[in-house]
């Protein structure tokens, strides 16, 4: 490894130790029309934390996730993820960066023309894992999310809860440092919602930083995790072991 690269890694590690694995430093994001989606947001999330981000529609939660994924860039301020200043990340480096992030969406976003196994294996293929590794890793992660017996099933034959488990397995198979979940229980019934949240908790206990954007008041109040509440693009509260704050 070159000396320059070693220095870069060291600098990133220092940044993570000092400011957290996710650090938004006075971040604002404006779209061409309307008021800013984020307005001077400063948030720091340390490695291994479990954080809920809550707020009404239009509060800026999804914009924050899109900034963390480097789908968007901040209008002002800095977004650091794993010590990387995302504004300085070139287009060609984004895929490699995203491989350290697991991401789960409300609408699952599975490849519906492929079965369960292929959906999860796909995440391994893009990082050019060998066929032998894929054959070993995919069944292991499917067993972790409780889908060992359904690896051949088509995604269209699965229930909402099962689809979200597949999405989780896909997000986790490459062992990411951070898991971002955007409304992961939004399309699920209470039982499946709790199953997914328990899985996320287990994943967090294994060392992965978990950030969950949600509207689910019951889950947020019951889990006693850190809760960041947003309103109109601003962080209005940040509580350790907090609950869902009524904004009215």
Partner 1 sequence: MKISTLFYTFRQGFKNIWRNKWFSLASVATIAACLFLFGLFFAIVANFSHIVKTAEEGVSIAVFFHDDNDLCEKQGHEHVEGEVPSSQRIEEIGKMIAARSEVSEVKFISDDEAWATFGPNYLGEDYDLGYLENPLKGMNSYEVFLSDVSMQGTLVHWLESIPEVRKINYSEVTASTLSGVNLLIAYISIGIIVVLLAVSVFLISNTVTIGISVRKEEINIMKYIGATDFFVRSPFVLEGIIIGLIGAAIPLAVIYKLYLYAMEFLTEKFTVLSNFLNFLPVEEVFHYLLPISLILGVGIGFLGSFTTVRKHLHV
Query: Under the rule (CB under 8 A), what is the footprint of partner 1?
Result: 69, 71, 91-92, 95-99, 101, 103, 109-111, 113, 122-123, 125-128, 130-131, 170, 174
The 10 Å CB-count burial string (b at 16+, else e) for 191-203 is: ebbbbbbebbeeb
Q: Give dist(CA 180, CA 124) in Å, integer.
A: 18
| 110/223 with CB nearer partner 1 | 110
| 22/103 with CB nearer partner 1 | 103
| 61/170 with CB nearer partner 1 | 170
Least gap, CB of 3 to partner 1 (angstroms): 27
Least gap, CB of 164 to partner 1 (angstroms): 14
Least gap, CB of 138 to partner 1 (angstroms): 14
Please write down the HEC assignment for all residues of the chain: CCHHHHHHHHHHHHHHHHHCCEEEEEEEECCCCCCCCEEEEEEEECCCCEEEEEECCCCCHHHHHHHHCCCCCCCEEEEEECCEEHHHCCHHHHHHHHCCEEEEECCCCCCCCCEHHHHHHHHHHHCCCCHHHHHHHHHHHHHHCCCHHHCCCEHHHCCHHHHHHHHHHHHHCCCCCEEEEECCCCCCCHHHHHHHHHHHHHHHHCCCEEEEEECCHHHHHHHCCEEEEEECCEEEEEECCCCCCCCC
| 84/229 with CB nearer partner 1 | 84
Least gap, CB of 109 to partner 1 (angstroms): 5
Least gap, CB of 177 to partner 1 (angstroms): 13
| 17/71 with CB nearer partner 1 | 71
Least gap, CB of 193 to partner 1 (angstroms): 22
Least gap, CB of 18 to partner 1 (angstroms): 26
Q: CA-CA distances (angstroms) from residue 198 to 106, 125, 175, 194, 233?
A: 17, 28, 18, 6, 29
| 79/101 with CB nearer partner 1 | 101
| 176/242 with CB nearer partner 1 | 176
């Amino acid at each position: 490894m070159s000396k320059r690269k070693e220095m870069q890694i060291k600098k990133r590690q220092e940044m993570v130790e000092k400011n957290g694995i996710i650090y938004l430093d006075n971040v604002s994001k404006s779209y061409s029309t309307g008021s800013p989606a984020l307005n001077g947001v400063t948030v720091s999330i340390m490695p291994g934390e479990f954080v809920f981000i809550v707020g009404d529609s239009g509060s800026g939660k999804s914009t924050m996730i899109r900034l963390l994924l480097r789908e968007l860039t901040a209008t002002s301020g800095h977004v650091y993820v794993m010590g990387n200043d995302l504004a300085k990340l070139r287009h060609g480096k984004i895929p490699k960066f995203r491989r350290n992030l697991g991401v789960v969406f409300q609408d699952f976003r599975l490849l519906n023309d492929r079965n369960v196994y292929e959906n999860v294996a796909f995440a391994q293929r893009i990082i050019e894992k060998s066929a032998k590794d894929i054959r070993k890793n995919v069944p292991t992660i499917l067993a972790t999310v409780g889908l060992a017996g359904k690896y051949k099933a088509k995604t269209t034959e699965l229930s909402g809860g099962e689809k979200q488990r597949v999405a989780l397995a896909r997000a986790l198979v490459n062992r990411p440092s951070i898991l971002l979940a955007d409304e992961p229980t939004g399309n699920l019934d209470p039982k499946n919602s709790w199953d997914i949240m328990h899985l996320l908790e287990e994943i967090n206990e294994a060392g992965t930083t978990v950030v969950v954007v949600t509207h689910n008041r019951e889950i947020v109040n019951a889990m006693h995790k850190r809760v960041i509440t947003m309103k109109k693009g601003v962080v209005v509260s940040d509580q350790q072991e907090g609950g869902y704050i009524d904004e009215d």
